[in-house]
Chain A
């Protein structure tokens, strides 16, 4: 029994010993041949490939990110990607030559016909940049000159869960770290009292489920995972001291726990012990910092007016947008909002209106609020979903409750702020709004670009796991230089 116990407690396995010493010695000899002074730097890098860089590879344009994730895939055809041809061909069949070999989801694969359907909503050009926006987004249309639209996003995934997992973690299979975790691993914290990566989910929304792996740490140490702030009384669960426990007592407890765990770490060397300890410490500091940041009572009325009436109701998208600004002001690195309910297989026209009412005003308000505070200078705001929707109907076109099915070949996102050109539209789809016509941007390209804006080289930000070094962009990703300042 004891013997087994010891076996598990070994700090280094035989394999660890061999790889570390042989590589280490190799590095030492080579290093000292070339430059004796460097010999010992060399060995420390070799022995731990997973040391977080904690600083940008090159000067960053963006220091923080707010990702307004529209889960369920908003219909680009009804919101951004204006296609006059569709109104001419309304009700006609999607030409097979346009569809090519695109696979279909189980939901419309059985459909006998794929009638093209134009948007019932009116499109106009706005601002000096002349961006096309649907009437569903009256607030966004006012700020188009601040925005950078990418109309040529595409993905390989055709169903929600793999597609969300793909855009959030760089792989369609669960298990990889999310974008926010990579960033927090790569850059470290700018505010020791709050987590680097905070997640806010709109309350009471129906639709495709969201899994915590979208903000999970994957194989990175768990201290890099996103921390979800909830609406309501306790933003972070179990943060308050239980009745009868004072702050001092909690401090004392933590000190003792630290002593125990330090011993434990010296014995076992499991990095998760350090992670856990840093999380205890973070939780302790968050006992004061979180209530402070969640408190919106000091916000003047005109700010609430800007974000819309919902913003006074905690847990709504509008309230979360306001919170996102407050978190960014406190130098949280990555704030990710999730807003579900965009998956309009049916009742597209009615549902879209509701969704846009929820999100249009607060999204635009957030961008302008950041701008006036000078925060847009080094904060990037991203708005978008996991894929697009088809240009043909799901269901009978004569039934007013028709919808649109999933479409991976093109979708639109927009960005605003740090390092991104404003008032531009990048990429284009063909006149059917089905295939890409110019400047395709793959999900990995998008991820590479985001990391680049933060001063991280997506090819150098790696973590060694199961024998190989992993990246957010796997072995892909090309920075979209054309949209960068």
Chain B
């Protein structure tokens, strides 16, 4: 077995021989045909022979190295197919040029096969390179827009914290990167298959990989943290498991029973948070609704068409998508709200203080689907208005101080889906009512009271 691995690793070295010989053979033929120079056919044939011979040798070593199981089958497949075809076509090229068969081999056929060789050579080389250097190696430093075309979105970024599953999204990706090439269904070294939670917990020849009571004593953690010179150190080659990954794994074993749950349902210590932020670009800080959704770009001309003496419209951030809109005049009218219709889904903050809002206008506002903050204090709005605003599913902050709402609205406010704070100072809702409400209610807080 060891001998096979030893020989197999010469594959990347030897592979350059057939590449060189094949290109040389093709170049000689092109050269001869352009400059009409006759070269002894046996020299050309010899070149083709060494090209073929070295490809066979390389292929054998390649098959040996594939046996080691260090590579993931699906990545290997294309390289294997192209490589074998290349060996086959190099054999045909050499064989047909032998003088006995040369009359079968017309010039156009030669051109065709030579082109095929170049194409196959490029493809095989590319897939082989991807195996050893990683799929993005070639374009890591390419200009951004070329990169965008080529590189698939990295799985590691833009995870939304609310939907992250502990094992599937945080733990398995580490195993996939560092362990699964040797511990999968086909090649399960040490009888350990790490391709899923259940298979992992079945363990291997050396026992269970995790120890719930003392995570640091888990086989899994021991093997990846022992000195790299130890024979049992994992992974035996390639990138070692990083500090942040180890930290994440220990945290996971501590919370093994919650592997199935969402990240948000777990207490995460600060240092683990830092590691998760490093690994997955997760952002633990509280995000507002509009920061979590994607929306098509806003047509700026729609904003420019709105009279800036009536509405002050500002972007919330420099990605120029969501808007903060403030009403500037004293008497808001139907036609004013109508003007916002085309940009309504971009409005995240809306302010219309002391502007004589009526319930009809409130209806218009209640169609701003992505509204997060609404400031409509000092208006003559009442309990009816609050009922209408209930349609705002994403509203988090509502300021209705100095309005005519009464304690009847308290129950309605409770029904808002995402409301976190409501300002009710200067309404007929009393301070004691507010205090009592806040004592019982966890999600929504009322502020103020008279």
Q: A interface vs B, CB < 8 Å? A: 34-35, 53, 55-60, 190, 331, 371-374, 377, 455, 481, 484-485
Contacts and interface: CB of A to CB of B under 8 A. Distances in A.
Interface string B263-298: 000000000000000000000011010110000000
Q: What 4 pairs between A and B have smallest CB-CB spacing?
A: A374-B423, A374-B399, A372-B425, A58-B317
Interface in B300-335: 312, 314-318, 320, 322, 326
Contacts of B143: 34
Nearest to A187: B314
Interface in B392-450: 397, 399, 401, 421, 423, 425-426, 447-448
A57 B423 contact: no
Nearest to B421: A377
B93 interface: no
Contact of B423 (A58, A190, A373, A481): A373
Contacts of A53: 318
Given A56-B316, A57-B318, A377 B291 contact: no
A58 B321 CA distance: 11
B145 interface: yes
Contacts of A484: 285
Contacts of B322: 59
Contact of A374 (B285, B286, B401): B401
A55 B285 contact: no
A55 B425 contact: no
8 contacts: A34-B144, A55-B320, A58-B318, A373-B425, A374-B375, A374-B447, A377-B423, A485-B285
B124 interface: no
Contacts of A371: 447
Contacts of B314: 55, 190
Given A373-B377, A374-B447, A485-B286, A56 B423 contact: no
A57 B320 CA distance: 10
Given A374-B399, A374-B401, A56 B318 contact: yes
Interface in B143-185: 143-145
B309 to A, nearest CB: 9
Contacts of B448: 372
Interface in B84-106: none
A33 B448 CA distance: 59
Interface residues of B, number: 29
B400 to A, nearest CB: 9
A374 B315 CA distance: 21
Nearest to A63: B324
Nearest to B450: A372
A53 B319 CA distance: 12
Contacts of B397: 374, 377
A59 B447 contact: no
A190 B326 CA distance: 9
Nearest to B397: A377
Contact of A55 (B145, B291, B318, B377): B318
Contacts of A372: 401, 423, 425-426, 447-448
Given A59-B288, A371-B447, A374-B377, A455 B317 contact: yes
A455 B324 CA distance: 14
A309 B360 CA distance: 44
A481 to B, nearest CB: 8
Contacts of A58: 317-318
Binding site secondary structure of chain A: loop
A233 B401 CA distance: 32
B447 A55 contact: no
Contacts of A57: 317-318
Interface string B230-248: 0000000000000000000
Contact of B291 (A34, A56, A59, A374): A59
A55 B423 contact: no
B423 A34 contact: no
Nearest to A377: B397
A55 B326 contact: no
Contacts of A455: 316-317
Contacts of A373: 377, 399, 401, 423, 425
Interface string B98-142: 000000000000000000000000000000000000000000000
B401 A56 contact: no
A59 B317 contact: yes
B374 to A, nearest CB: 10
B335 to A, nearest CB: 23
B401 to A, nearest CB: 6
Contacts of A377: 373, 397, 399, 421, 423
A56 B317 contact: yes
Given A374-B423, A377-B399, A484-B285, 8 more contacts: A34-B144, A53-B318, A56-B317, A58-B318, A371-B447, A372-B425, A374-B377, A374-B425
A190 B447 CA distance: 25
A53 B320 CA distance: 12
Contacts of A331: 326
Most buried by B among A58, A374, A481: A374
A190 B318 contact: no
Contacts of B447: 371-372, 374
Nearest to B449: A372
A190 B317 contact: no
Contacts of B401: 372-374
Given A373-B425, A374-B423, A377-B397, A59 B316 contact: yes
Contacts of B426: 372
Nearest to A38: B145
Contacts of B288: 59
Interface in B169-209: none
Contacts of B317: 55-60, 455
Nearest to B373: A377
Contacts of B291: 59
B145 to A, nearest CB: 6
Contacts of B373: 377
A481 B145 CA distance: 33
A32 B270 CA distance: 45
Contacts of A481: 285
Nearest to B312: A190
A373 B377 CA distance: 8
Nearest to A54: B314
Most buried by B among A58, A59, A484, A485: A59
B53 to A, nearest CB: 45
A57 B317 CA distance: 5
Interface string B351-393: 0000000000000000000000101010000000000000000
A88 B291 CA distance: 53
Contacts of B316: 56, 59-60, 455
A77 B317 CA distance: 41
A56 B426 CA distance: 33
A484 B284 CA distance: 11
